[in-house]
Amino acid sequence: MEYELIAELTREWVDEAGEMLRESLKNTSLKIEEKTNPSDLVTEMDRAIEAFFVEKIQKHFPDHKIFGEEGTYDEINDLSGFIWIIDPIDGTLNYVKQKSNFCSMIALFKDGEGVLSFINDVIHEDVYFGIKGKGVFCNDRRLETVPPHSLNEGLIAISTKMVTNESEKTKEVVQEALGVRLIGSAGLEMIQVLTNRVSAYITNDLSAWDIAQGYMLATELGLTFTRRDGTPINLMEKNPILVANSQAHKEIVSKFVKE
């Protein structure tokens, strides 16, 4: 099947999942559990949306592998073949506490390379998506390439852990930018870079389901997406992330590797 056709199908799933998520916020008795700590939550909706995507994928693409945040793991020892990577709710803490500022993400990779990706900013009903070689869109609007510019000409997005466990290097980077922004959803932070609302997003260790979708879109749009030290990301392990336009990326990497 052509990637455009797979993307059309995926878009239907993404829209349906978004609708389910918006509906779920009217439910006042959402089941919430802690995972590793009080800020690491999983709700019944994380599980329901993942199950929804998994069912669709298994029906249409029974030979594809699946990698999902909430426990759907095929035995994946390498990145060969087709792999779907799902984060049913990215920013679950915001979903619970803010009823906004979360997204639902799904991407398809082939032999380690992203071929299509969707990030749905559910509350604002903005679906960001890309198909390899065809560009990146928000709903019907094609995103423009981000012009390279310096760190000191723009804002920078970081994560809570970068604030609470701040290193001298982080401080140096942050002080050079015009200001800090922090939404609390890796997917939405990456969208901020794609839409040039921030110049860079830097964060601590993230897993494949947190980054694969943004990685595909950023790469398609010509942004630079690497580990924080400038080396390539590895979807098989956790990665400290840096995504930025080429100029800001170069400047930030030089700070993180200079000693």
Alpha-carbon span 194 to 198, nearest angstrom: 8
Alpha-carbon span 197 to 184, nearest angstrom: 15
> Which position among 79, 155, 206, 236 is part of the footprint of a copy of itself (CB under 8 A)?
155
Find, among 134, 246, 143, the residue nearest to 200 by Cα.
Answer: 246
Instruction: Report the site for a copy of itself in 9-38 (rule: CB under 8 A).
Output: 38
Applying CB under 8 A, the site for a copy of itself has a residue count of 29
Could you tell me the smallest distance in angstroms from the CB atom of residue 182 to a copy of itself? 4
Tell whether 69 is in a known binding site. Answer: yes
Amino acid at 24: S
| H-type alpha helices, 61-167 | 92-97, 160-164
Could you tell me the smallest distance in angstroms from the CB atom of residue 241 to a copy of itself? 17
What H or E segment, with its residue span, contains residue 242? strand 239-244
Could you tell me the smallest distance in angstroms from the CB atom of residue 219 to a copy of itself? 23
Find, among 249, 20, 4, 49, the residue nearest to 149 by Cα.
Answer: 249
Tell whether 89 is in a known binding site. Answer: yes
Alpha-carbon span 3 to 129, nearest angstrom: 12
Binding mask 198-227 for a copy of itself (x = CB under 8 A): x-----------------------------
| Burial of 202 (C-beta count, 10 Å sphere; 0-12/13-18/19+) | buried
Could you tell me the smallest distance in angstroms from the CB atom of residue 27 to a copy of itself? 17
Instruction: Report the site for a copy of itself in 57-86 (rule: CB under 8 A).
Output: none
CB nearer a copy of itself, residue 24 or residue 101: 101
Binding mask 177-196 for a copy of itself (x = CB under 8 A): -xxxxxxx-------x----
CB 170 within 8 A of CB 162: yes
Which residues lie near a copy of itself (CB under 8 A)?
38-39, 93-94, 97-100, 152, 154-155, 158, 160, 163-164, 166, 171, 174-175, 178-184, 192, 197-198
